[in-house]
Amino acid sequence: MEKRPNILIITTDQQRYDTLGIDNPIIKTPTLDRLASEGLRFTQAYSPNPVCVPARYNLLTGLSSRHHGFDDNDFAHVRHLPFDVPTFPQLLSDAGYETIAIGKIHFQPNRDSRGIHHYLMMDEIPHYREEDDYALYLKQSHPEISCIHGVRDPLYMMPQTSMVELNHHGSVWAADRSIETIKRIGSKRPFMMWTGFVHPHPPLDVPKEYADLYKDAPIKPCVKATSPLSWLAEENKNIVDYPDEAVLKRFKELYYSAITLVDTQIQRILDALKETGELDNTLILFCSDHGEMLGDLGTFQKFLPHDASARIPMILRYPPKIKGGTQSDALVSLSDILPTILDLLNIPYPAPHALIGKSLFDLTDRSFTILEHGKYERRWLSIVTVNYKYTYYYGGAREELVDRIKDPYEQINLMDKPDASIRKLAEGFKAQLLDWEFKHGLSDHLFDGNFVQYATPTPMAFAGTGPIIFPSVINDPIERSQIASLASQIINSVQHEPSIDLSRHDFSYMIKTGQLTMAEVDSIILADKKNKGR
């Protein structure tokens, strides 16, 4: 019987397309650079919905939000993948594969891991310590830490240093568990393993060994917009208010450091594959779920159609079918991953749904890709071609058109002052989006052949990034008493970051939501001054 290939999917979270050393020599990613030299690198890969949960469900199902049900991150409401929507782990399990997920996968609900035999979970904000394997692991060495991936509010996108040692860090833990799994299975049976790293998603709790890796590196300044931004891009500005450029630059240094830390761990995983003799018998796919604006165009985070938010790194290595060192400019997306796996193993798709992607082994007819996000007035659609990107925002019927060749950083919206030729071009793209919305998107957002009209939303004020939950539901008083106060964890996380002066930070949200008292804020500021000799 012919030996079947293993499948290894490695994902990072919130990693921009332009953060590989092969493109940007400032960034140290020797493992990913080598992976590209041994495989196929996609230079025009996109997240079909640039935010964590929807992007991952496109990857899992090969379908749009119409079918999998996740159009945005929404943790306030419980949503489930419909029972009749297959996932690639289910299909591989049915085909006799052992299926494993390790790290941040972001199933919703957390343990609804459709088709996964073994799931070692590492979530950003676990609701219960007992449901999160990394939280339970960390309890043994650091029972005092509740901010297990760094402090979120009020330091979500601020420089900070990991409060745990390198060998206990989440990125190392994910690699350790992956290596153990590879060695356990060996060549006994084919496996699919999905290893999900949290970094470089903020908070950037980088261990001290990596914290100064890019100190004083010549990091290029942020790209400035020359056209007015969308209301959503304006809203994203509210998530962070850097007191000066030095703090933003320091955050970017740590963003790169987090990527290098993950790169080191990926090398360890690949070494384990080599040791078991399974490296060349394993299809390896590396990608991220979406990017990070990182201050470009004056805004931050994801949710946006701009390349910094929506374009991602993607590499495919499989020597039996892919020549090493090849590169493709084809427009591909995460929606192509399920069809690729089915193509590799000759597994038929068992559902009536129309897959929106196709196998990455077939790069013909890749003239455009469609991106979507949200619903109602917060929804937008975008079509990306080789030369242009056109975006339609339901809220306010806003249109954006950028020339991807002349304006690669998307600074100029040609729809600000469109002439007849630009208007005609936009109308053609709009027609394509209308057709896609009808066939694959949220068809209830169409009326009489056109987009439903919504008023322009008012950008929301900052509303926090999620409080730490699990300490409040611990029943054992001894276990609960071991957990350090949030105030002390805030102090400890920035004690080695001279760029941070906590007296310049806004704690009003933390006070308003009862996470800190005014007295605790005063003590935090005083302790920070003392630590830094101010």
- For the beta carbon of residue 253, count every other beta carbon within 10 angstroms: 22
Q: Listing from the earlier edge strand, what are the strands of the sheet with 388-393?
A: 368-373, 380-385, 388-393, 398-403
Confidence at residue 3, expressed as pLDDT on a 0 to 100 scale? 86
Evaluate whether 56 touches 13 at the Cβ level (below 8 Å): no
Confidence at residue 1, expressed as pLDDT on a 0 to 100 scale? 53
Pairwise CA distance, residues 142 & 119, whole Å: 23
Question: 3-state class of 343 per DSSP?
Answer: helix
The identity of residue 225, as a single letter, is A
Confidence at residue 75, expressed as pLDDT on a 0 to 100 scale? 67
Residues of the chain with pLDDT under 50: none
Does the reported pTM lie above 0.85?
A: yes
Pairwise CA distance, residues 49 & 65, whole Å: 9
Task: Sort strands 98-103 and 191-196 into parallel, antiparallel or unpaired.
Answer: parallel
Structure tokens at 256: 């790169």
DSSP 197-246: --TTSSS-EE-HHHHTTTTT--PPPPPPPSSPPPHHHHHHGGG---SSHH
Confidence at residue 487, expressed as pLDDT on a 0 to 100 scale? 97
| Residue among 325, 238, 283, 258 at smallest CA distance from 35 | 325
What letter would DSSP give residue 5? P
